[in-house]
Chain A
Amino acid sequence: MILLETIAEPVAATGMFTWAWTMIAVPAIVAGLLLLAGKLSDAWGHLVATAAVFWSFAIAVCLFAEQLLAPATERAVAAPAYTWFSVGEWTFQVGLLVDQLSILFAMLITGVGGLIHVYSIGYMSHDPRRRRFFAYLNLFIAAMLLLVLADNYLILFVGWEGVGLASYLLISFWQHKPSAAAAGTKAFVMNRVGDLGMLMAISTMLAMFGSSKFTEVNAGAASTEPMWATLIGLFLLLGACGKSAQVPLQAWLLDAMEGPTPVSALIHAATMVTAGVYLVVRSHALFEAAPTAQMAVIIVATVTLLAGAWIGTSQDDIKKVLAGSTMSQIGYMMLAAGIGPAGYAFAIFHLLTHGFFKANMFLGAGSVMHGMNDDVDMRHYGALSKVMKVTFLTFAMGYLAIIGFPFFSGYFSKDHIIEAAFADNTFIGVCALIGAGITAFYMTRLMLMTFFGEKRWQPGVHPHESPKVMTIPLIILAILSVGAGIVLNFWIQEWLAPAVGNHPHELSLVPTPVGWMTMAVVALGVVAAWLVFGRSSIPVTAPATNNPITLAGRNVLFGDQVNDFLFVSPTTALATGIDTTDARGIDRMVDGGAQAFGGLSTQMRRLQTGYARSYALTMVFGALVVGAVLILTQLG
């Protein structure tokens, strides 16, 4: 709590910072332009879109440079744009907060995003709808930047939904495939479940603090009633689970691999799915006021990191292995974020390095698929290291980084998290350690099945190296996968301290006992994978098995079945029931009333004979009755 006071108020934007909004506006406008211009922009759309992202990257780097030069207390800069709306006592500004945390994200998003744009020029060159693809990618970049640069939770939520939309559009980009369309819908709907958490969290913040600005929420967090602080924390966690594919909202991520591979690399590995981690770190003050919520974050994270790894071990689709791995790695980040001040910087550290090496590997997988006629089944690969040298070498860098090979980037970032986990709770630490071992196992399996062994290529497939426009981004990302760790290792804690209030640790390059242990477990995982998959040949079709562990992994831990049973079937049944109730229940009651009146009038219609004399008789009787009544009342 003492540290909270050291968080400096953001200073007003000057100079370069007044340009910050163009980071978001330029890609957004280009996206709109490409969508509206239609076929006119087919020829140059991808170039403009790529240029737009590099514009944002340039601005981000300039801002970062200015922050580096500024004194530590003046690094966070607020740049309000305009009042979105104000109602009652609440005012919602569209405002940007460029601080130490958000600028790192901005550079990751635009940097990796820019590389992936370049890669996509090659990857999507044969797609007739490439222009549209780039428009969606730019839309995503704009929304993601809005998410990380917003200065309040509501604008963050706007970006949050924006990336959800972009993710939906891109997952179901190949809409003619029913599976892709279904995957997009599923991703959006499951994210919406998470959004409920966000909506409730923001509503609670407004009820508690009368504002959703980060500064005001952070300032009030410590004096919130524990129950409400816990609730806000849990709501935010629900939101984070949806976006970051954490258990129990994990089922969409593997299906999301239906999207083009650059999308998987950018959205479903490097940036969007890590938004949940960003959210938790950004809301650190609230979580520190709610230990129960922190505990929930840790539990969810631990379960996910093991579940993701489990899935990774038994999938044959190269992208789905990587997706399982993404789940698992985000679990590590969430774990670090849940541990508290000791872990925030490591969460972000791992997030950045993971962004590099996982994007690298996804793009590498895309390159492999490009050479294999879009086949994703690893059982049809093998021996590709000889024909796709650049892809193999860059992929290998990513591989070494993710398993935590010494001095590669993952080595630093993941080991810190495992150490922090051990410091927090031994059980959690052991789980994180096991996760690291399984990571090594499934990544080694992936490497062996894809690049080594004998050829298991399908007939008519002639693997070839991808064009330069695709390999150059791979090389750059490979360099980052190798070097980012050691560069950031000694610097990131100090840098982030003012923004997230973490406690910097003394770090050294000499491994700690936990570090040695991790290395041992990782080595064990690699050896085990080699024993199983490296020595014997791999069947071209997945062998039938009754092993429950393999079956569960292949079926993605039965997430779909659980969701179907718990939510989809009841909803469908209710929807059908509503239809029936409306038609048979409510309407029948109304119709019954109408029929009663109808029957009555049918009876009364019989009085209408058409004979003038009978009408006359009725009149006479009527007159007599009226006369009688008059006389009787006169008498009375």
Chain B
Amino acid sequence: MMNPENYLILAALLFAIGSVGVLTRRNALVAFMCVELMLNACNLALVAGSHIHGALDGQVAAFFVMVVAAAEVVVGLAIIVMIYRTRRSTSVDDANLLKL
């Protein structure tokens, strides 16, 4: 059995990669994937925590996150597709009308 802390370190790494991706990449699909990566990093941390504490709460929470993530993917992808259809672009910087 590996040291459970390694799982947490991995989760932190994945989260960091995901967040850097969100901040730096302009392609909406890539940014979206990076968000998914962050969510899965969280899942990993939750499951690891659950293992460490010997309780099931973390795993339950992970399932919640998965469900929410799935729902979010549906909505998010739909928005990206719509933006692509109207603007012929998947760059997040092109969709900058949300301001005064």
Select from chain A the residue with minimum beta-carbon distance to B22.
A616
Interface members, chain A 597-613 (any B CB < 8 Å):
605, 608-613
Interchain CA distance A612-B79 in the complex, whole Å: 14
Chain B hits for A609, CB < 8 A: 96, 99
| B95 close to chain A: CB less than 8 A | yes
Which listed residue, B22, B24, B93, B100, touches A611 by the CB 8 Å rule? B93
> 1/0 contact trace for A366-399 toward B, CB 8 Å?
0000000000000000000000000000000000
Asked whether A611 lies within 8 Å of B96 as measured between CB atoms, the reply is yes
| A65 close to chain B: CB less than 8 A | no
Interface members, chain A 608-636 (any B CB < 8 Å):
608-613, 616-617, 620
Asked whether B23 lies within 8 Å of A610 as measured between CB atoms, the reply is no
Asked whether B23 lies within 8 Å of A620 as measured between CB atoms, the reply is yes
Asked whether B92 lies within 8 Å of A611 as measured between CB atoms, the reply is yes
Interchain CA distance A616-B92 in the complex, whole Å: 12
Asked whether B19 lies within 8 Å of A620 as measured between CB atoms, the reply is yes
> 1/0 contact trace for B79-100 toward A, CB 8 Å?
0000000000000110111111
Interface members, chain B 31-55 (any A CB < 8 Å):
31
Chain B hits for A611, CB < 8 A: 92-93, 96
Asked whether B22 lies within 8 Å of A610 as measured between CB atoms, the reply is no
Asked whether A605 lies within 8 Å of B22 as measured between CB atoms, the reply is no
Q: How large is the interface on B (under 10, 10 to 19, 20 to 34, 35 or more residues)?
A: 10 to 19
CB distance from A203 to the nearest CB of B (A): 61
Q: A620-B19, A620-B23 are in contact. Are A613 and B93 (CB under 8 A)?
A: yes
Asked whether B23 lies within 8 Å of A617 as measured between CB atoms, the reply is yes
CB distance from A599 to the nearest CB of B (A): 15
Asked whether A608 lies within 8 Å of B23 as measured between CB atoms, the reply is no
Asked whether B92 lies within 8 Å of A610 as measured between CB atoms, the reply is no
Asked whether A610 lies within 8 Å of B98 as measured between CB atoms, the reply is yes
Asked whether A612 lies within 8 Å of B23 as measured between CB atoms, the reply is no
Q: How many chain A residues have a CB neighbour from B under 8 Å?
A: 10
Interchain CA distance A605-B24 in the complex, whole Å: 24
Chain B hits for A616, CB < 8 A: 22-23
Which listed residue, B23, B97, B98, B100, touches A613 by the CB 8 Å rule? B23
Chain A hits for B99, CB < 8 A: 608-610
Chain A hits for B19, CB < 8 A: 620
Interchain CA distance A609-B100 in the complex, whole Å: 8
Chain A hits for B100, CB < 8 A: 605, 608
Chain A hits for B22, CB < 8 A: 613, 616
Chain A hits for B92, CB < 8 A: 611-613
Chain B hits for A620, CB < 8 A: 19, 23
CB distance from B92 to the nearest CB of A (A): 5
Chain B hits for A605, CB < 8 A: 100
> 1/0 contact trace for B42-70 toward A, CB 8 Å?
00000000000000000000000000000
CB distance from A616 to the nearest CB of B (A): 5
Interface members, chain A 546-605 (any B CB < 8 Å):
605
Interchain CA distance A613-B31 in the complex, whole Å: 9
Select from chain B the residue with minimum beta-carbon distance to A614.
B23
Interchain CA distance A609-B95 in the complex, whole Å: 11
CB distance from A245 to the nearest CB of B (A): 70
Select from chain B the residue with minimum beta-carbon distance to A609.
B99
Chain A hits for B96, CB < 8 A: 609-612
Chain B hits for A610, CB < 8 A: 96-99
CB distance from A614 to the nearest CB of B (A): 9
Interchain CA distance A467-B36 in the complex, whole Å: 112
Chain B hits for A613, CB < 8 A: 22-24, 26, 31, 92-93
Kindly name the residue among A605, A609, A610, A620 whose own CB sees the greatest number of chain B CB atoms within 10 A. Answer: A610
CB distance from B72 to the nearest CB of A (A): 15
CB distance from A615 to the nearest CB of B (A): 9
Select from chain A the residue with minimum beta-carbon distance to B99.
A610
Chain A hits for B93, CB < 8 A: 611, 613
CB distance from A253 to the nearest CB of B (A): 69
Select from chain B the residue with minimum beta-carbon distance to A605.
B100
CB distance from A179 to the nearest CB of B (A): 62
CB distance from B82 to the nearest CB of A (A): 15
Select from chain A the residue with minimum beta-carbon distance to B20.
A620
Chain A hits for B97, CB < 8 A: 610
Interchain CA distance A613-B93 in the complex, whole Å: 8
CB distance from B83 to the nearest CB of A (A): 11
Interchain CA distance A166-B55 in the complex, whole Å: 96
Interchain CA distance A620-B19 in the complex, whole Å: 8
Interchain CA distance A605-B93 in the complex, whole Å: 19
CB distance from A393 to the nearest CB of B (A): 93
Chain A hits for B24, CB < 8 A: 613
Interchain CA distance A612-B22 in the complex, whole Å: 9
CB distance from A621 to the nearest CB of B (A): 11
Interchain CA distance A529-B41 in the complex, whole Å: 122
Interchain CA distance A507-B96 in the complex, whole Å: 110
Interchain CA distance A547-B71 in the complex, whole Å: 106
Select from chain A the residue with minimum beta-carbon distance to B98.
A610
Chain A hits for B31, CB < 8 A: 612-613
Interchain CA distance A612-B99 in the complex, whole Å: 11
Interchain CA distance A609-B93 in the complex, whole Å: 10
Interchain CA distance A79-B74 in the complex, whole Å: 92
CB distance from B6 to the nearest CB of A (A): 21
Chain B hits for A617, CB < 8 A: 23
Interchain CA distance A620-B22 in the complex, whole Å: 10
Known: A609-B99, A610-B99. 4 other contacts (CB 8 A): A610-B96, A611-B93, A616-B22, A620-B19
Q: Which 8 pairs show the lowest CB-CB distances between chains A and B?
A: A610-B96, A610-B99, A608-B99, A612-B92, A610-B98, A616-B22, A611-B96, A605-B100
Can you sample 21 A-B contacts with CB below 8 Å? A605-B100, A608-B98, A608-B99, A608-B100, A609-B96, A609-B99, A610-B97, A610-B99, A611-B93, A612-B31, A612-B95, A612-B96, A613-B23, A613-B24, A613-B26, A613-B92, A613-B93, A616-B22, A616-B23, A617-B23, A620-B19
